[in-house]
Structure formats: structure tokens, C-alpha cells
Amino acid sequence: MFHTADPDEILSGKITDVYFERALKILNAKKINPVVRAEFIAKGLPEGWPWAVFAGMEEAAYLMKRLPVRVRAMREGTVFYPYEPVMEIEGRYRDFCVYETAILGLVCQASGIATKAARIKKLAGGRPVVSFGARRMHPVLAPMIERNAYVGGCDGVAVVKSGEIIGEDPMGTMPHALIICMGSTIDAIKAYDEVLEPRFPRVALIDTFLDEKFECLNVAEAMGKRLFAVRFDTPSSRRGNFYRILEECRWELHLRGYDHIRFYASGGIKEEDMPGLNPVVDGYGIGTSISNAPVVDYAMDIIEVEGKPLAKRGKWSGSKRVLRCPKCGTGKIVPNVAGSYKCSCGKKFTDILIPVLDKGKQLMKAETASEIRKRVIKNVRNLTLE
């Protein structure tokens, strides 16, 4: 058997830390069930990130729409900062107590992946980025990981099922195994060209048997104009100076008139590698950096009980509004009472914590992964990474 929960176990509250189950037992015995509001906030972000992208809400709403609670949240793909609540649940505590573990898990991991993807996409400076990291994680998570990599900004995903979820064709080139089975890089790209539908770009992997430079020239000569790109997946033990390898290959191809051939780089590429590689790379396959992104450590805290502000030490009590200036992006957190606020730039703030669910009724309009992705790319355009 796979060591994973099935969806019914998540929806029935079985994926819970046992202390919630015990708390529920005690509250039931004592007939205590206050109406509370609980917020989800991150007091800090991993790796010194100055901002993060909220994600995982579609799945969290799928879980919470079965519960008699009201939910306000940021839309998926909203950029947020530490201390801004990203979500607030209002309801009788016993009705949602055992779901805290699962809801946090849904938004913590998704937000980490979406944020990492947004950072990588920014670093790629307009070059396409494809998520290649499904193989580093439990397969049951692959579609979730790649969906969030895509909404964060990746241009494509590698896994077939992930493609179905985001409504796009999955992307990929060829594995080393194909070349090894066929015995030659040239035979492999020729067979690729012969067998696969023309809509798949002809991309040859050129680090299997020979030096990258000579293999580049081999496939360029064999394929001519039909060759769209070459992919460098050079093992780290052979990389030396990866930039210089790519630069040299460019030079040699240019001398022979093969300027149309694009360069894709993959294989353990990290954020810090990208600015240096960008001048010689046209596109990236990014694996572990995205699929193993750090999680955003949201906590769920009760901040109001029976209409009265009340929170543990270290947390701000009371329900809050999160405001954002649509012009300059300035943020503001204010108590959740009516009133309008103006930014110092003169523009009126808008609320970014908005109603999502009211006891099973969906209040926020559903968006496609592609719509969310477009918003993320636009929202992070003018942000810095440090």
C-alpha cells in the first residue's frame, strides 16, 4: 500500500494531530463550543524572502466547504508579507478543530512552491521555465506540486496528470534512457523527429555519451533547421564551468550557421546559478529547487471568541482587514470594521482578504490555474527578491 491518506480520510478529519481530537473530546464532554475566529498568518518567511505568494486556497476551500463555517481569504496568487493574515475562519470551534493540521498543510506547502516558482521565473528574466521536479517528491503530490509551480510562474509542467489539472499540455524533451537504449544521440533525435507529432519541438539532449560541443554539432548537422533546441543536463561532476561550456557551444554553432538552435539547461539548477547562466541560456528545466521549496510556516491562531478580541501571547487579537494600494502596492492591516482608507500616494486602499465561503456556499469566483498564474507574474514584476 502507499503510505498516503486518501481524500476521504482528509475530509473526515482523520489527518489531524491527535491533540485536536483530544481537545474535541474534552470540549464535547464539557459542552463548550464557542464561536471563534481563527486567522492564518506567517510571522516570517523562509530563506529571507521579503514576500510570498499565497496558494493552496482552492484545495483548502474544497475541504472547508463541507463545514458550517465562514471563510475570508486572499485570492490564490496574492502577494503577501509577514504578519498579514492570509485567511480567517469563523465558526464554532468544535466544527473545524480537527481540520487545522490538514488546512495548514494545504496552504503551507502550496504557498512555498508557488513563491519559489515566482522567484525562479523572475530570475529567468523572460526565459521559459518548466517544472521538472516531480520525481523528487512522493508521486501522490506531483500534481499539487506542479499546479503550484505553474501558478507561481512556471511556463509548463512535466507530469501528464499535472497537465490535466492545469489544462495545458505537459512539456518535456527526451530522457538519457532513450539515447542509451538507441545507442546514439543522433539516432535518438532522428527517431524523435520521425515518430513524434510535429507539434512537439525537436529538442536533443546532448550530454549522454560525448562532449557537449561535439554532440551539439552532431545533432545540428543531422537535423539542420528541424532542430529547435539542445538540452544541457551535464552532470555536476563534469560541469567545471557550466557557463563556459554553454558559451563555447554557442560559438561553435554560430561559426557553422546554427544560430537558430536554442539552449535549454537543466539538472540541479538553483536560484543563485541563474543570473550567471542567463546570457547563454534560452530556457530552464528546474527540478528540486521548486518541488522541494521551503514551506511557508503559517500558524492558525484564534483571535476572537464570541465577538471579543482574544489571542495568545505574541499574536494580535481581533479580526483584521488586509489592505493593499492598487497603485503603489503599499499594505496596511486594520481592525475589521467598516471604513475606507487612503494610501499615502493618494489612492484608495482595497481589501485583499475577501469572503470565500459562507457555510458551504462558494462566494469567491473560481479561477483557472492560467488566470492565477498571469496575476502572479504581473504582481511580482516590480518586486525585488531580497
By the criterion CB under 5 A, which residues form the site for Zn ion? Answer: 325, 327-328, 330, 343, 345, 347
Q: Is 224 left (phi over 0), alpha (psi -120 to 50) or beta?
A: left
Residue 98 or 343: the one with the smaller Cβ distance to Zn ion is 343
- How many angstroms separate the Cα of 150 from the Cα of each of 48, 141, 147? 22, 14, 5
Q: How many CB atoms lie within 10 A of CB 189?
A: 27
Specify the DSSP class assigned to residue 315.
Answer: S
CB of 373 to Zn ion, least distance (A): 25
Who contacts 221 (Cβ-Cβ below 8 Å, separation ≥6)? none
CB of 345 to Zn ion, least distance (A): 3
Name 205's bridge partners: 231
CB of 268 to Zn ion, least distance (A): 41
What are the backbone angles phi and psi of residue 261, rounded to the nearest 5°?
-80, 125
Q: Are 303 and 288 in contact (CB under 8 A)?
A: no
Take residue 289 and report the three cell numbers written for it.
529547487
CA 36, CA 94: separation in Å to the nearest integer?
10
CA 249, CA 19: separation in Å to the nearest integer?
59
Residue 347 or 359: the one with the smaller Cβ distance to Zn ion is 347
What are the backbone angles phi and psi of residue 124, rounded to the nearest 5°?
-75, -10
CB of 323 to Zn ion, least distance (A): 10
Of 38, 33, 84, 24, nearest in space to 312 by CA = 38
One-letter amino acid of 89: I
CA 370, CA 378: separation in Å to the nearest integer?
12
Residue 33 or 330: the one with the smaller Cβ distance to Zn ion is 330
Residue 196 or 328: the one with the smaller Cβ distance to Zn ion is 328
CB of 332 to Zn ion, least distance (A): 10
Residue 312 or 348: the one with the smaller Cβ distance to Zn ion is 348
CB of 111 to Zn ion, least distance (A): 25
CB of 347 to Zn ion, least distance (A): 5
Residue 294 or 331: the one with the smaller Cβ distance to Zn ion is 331
CB of 350 to Zn ion, least distance (A): 11
Take residue 334 and report the three cell numbers written for it.
486594520
Residue 78 or 115: the one with the smaller Cβ distance to Zn ion is 78
Q: How many CB atoms lie within 10 A of CB 89?
A: 27
Residue 181 or 345: the one with the smaller Cβ distance to Zn ion is 345
What are the backbone angles phi and psi of residue 377, rounded to the nearest 5°?
-60, -40
CB of 285 to Zn ion, least distance (A): 38
CB of 348 to Zn ion, least distance (A): 9
Q: Is 257 left (phi over 0), alpha (psi -120 to 50) or beta?
A: left
Residue 35 or 328: the one with the smaller Cβ distance to Zn ion is 328
Burial class (CB in 10 A: 0-12, 13-18, 19+), 352: buried
Residue 125 or 326: the one with the smaller Cβ distance to Zn ion is 326
Q: How many CB atoms lie within 10 A of CB 374?
A: 15
